[in-house]
Amino acid sequence: MNRFEGKVVIITGAGNGMGKAAAHRFASEGAIVVLADLYQDALDKVHSELNSSKTLSVKTDVSNEAEVKNLIEQTIKNFNKIDILINNAGVHIPGTILDGSIQDWEKISSVNINGAIYCSKYALPHLIESKGCIVNNASVSGLGADWGAAYYCVSKGAIVNLTRVLALDFGLQGVRVNSVCPSLVKTNMTNSWPDDIRNKFNERIPLGRAAEPEEVAAVMSFLASDDASFVNGVNLPVDGGVTASDGQPKIV
Ligand code: NAD
Ligand code: ADP
Ligand code: HBR
């Protein structure tokens, strides 16, 4: 499939995990890929794995408004347009509201919420021009709440509603906005979680396992493609069935 031939895609948090998997997926379908991440060495590694004439790396802290403006400017300068924005960069810090410091909240909210706001705000004028789309990486943690992840869940709830408000406000201008909502995915964010926690997830996920980053990237690419041309404002679980449960205990 070459669904993204000639399309320009910005992917934040492209240095690792689902962002990296998305970079490979979009590139494999013909896209020009703009990689944005906090870490230059991670960017260099992903860049070296892709066709360099169709790849641009821009070291970007998405929580820094000026750096996001620079990301958009560099993309326009190099490729003249933006067709797709993947708001994927994010951080996770566990804890209840009493465990977490205000610095933890500032970190999570500035990366997970402000980052998506800045990227959306500055990409949108170009997306309106191209009749493009946004795919956010939210989480099932934004559709409901988890124990002991207060700030993270609040930040992901914000992304779920950001998806909806942008879908309403820009639909008439031809811009679609959707999100993926994964449960546990095997990435750096979660690889260090202890085995007993991972086993508890496996028990609660009807498919009995965590997702591979590529399984989420595949859904991002669907939502960004013309195959999803009438899908707008959807927060799509990519969760092996977790949200099919009403939350009552597993007794069989
Ligand atoms: P990851 O840690 O493998 O990748 C995240 C990337 O974002 C890293 O390359 C990191 O350097 C980058 N990043 C962090 N802060 C940044 C900033 N300020 N500016 C730019 N880049 C920054 O994690 P992942 O699991 O691939 O996470 C991707 C997204 O998926 C996040 O938004 C996360 O909340 C969400 N998510 C993860 C899971 C999971 O189980 N791993 C589940 C649901 C949703
Ligand atoms: P924070 O920057 O919020 O303190 P981390 O240091 O845990 O968060 O970084 C988040 C993710 O960034 C890590 O899971 C890892 O994938 C990636 N990362 C961290 N340091 C590096 C690095 N030096 N090079 C490449 N990727 C890195
Ligand atoms: C586990 C999952 O809900 C997450 C890290 O977002």
Instruction: Decide: 56 and 49 in contact? Cβ < 8 Å.
Output: no
Percent of the chain with pLDDT over 70: 100
Closest to 179 measured CA to CA, from 212, 213, 146, 140: 140
- Out of 118, 122, 151, 152, pick the active-site residue: 152
Q: What is the DSSP string of 149-208?
A: BHHHHHHHHHHHHHHHHHHHHHGGGT-EEEEEEESSB-SHHHHTS-HHHHHHHHHHSTTS
Q: Which atom in ligand 2 lies closest to the alpha carbon of residue 45?
A: 25
Residue 172's pLDDT is 98
Is the ipTM value over 0.85, yes or no?
A: yes
Closest to 109 measured CA to CA, from 159, 55, 182, 57: 159
Cβ 199 under 6 angstroms from ligand 2:
no
Instruction: Decide: 117 and 158 in contact? Cβ < 8 Å.
Output: no
Of the chain, the end-to-end C-alpha distance in Å amounts to 42
Amino acid at 19: G
Residue 51's pLDDT is 84
Whole-Å CA distances, 231 to 227, 235, 249: 9, 10, 33
φ and ψ at residue 63, rounded to 5 degrees = -85, 0
Closest to 181 measured CA to CA, from 227, 122, 221, 138: 138
Cβ 46 under 6 angstroms from ligand 2:
no
Residue 59's pLDDT is 98
Positions of the chain with pLDDT lower than 50, given as ranges? none
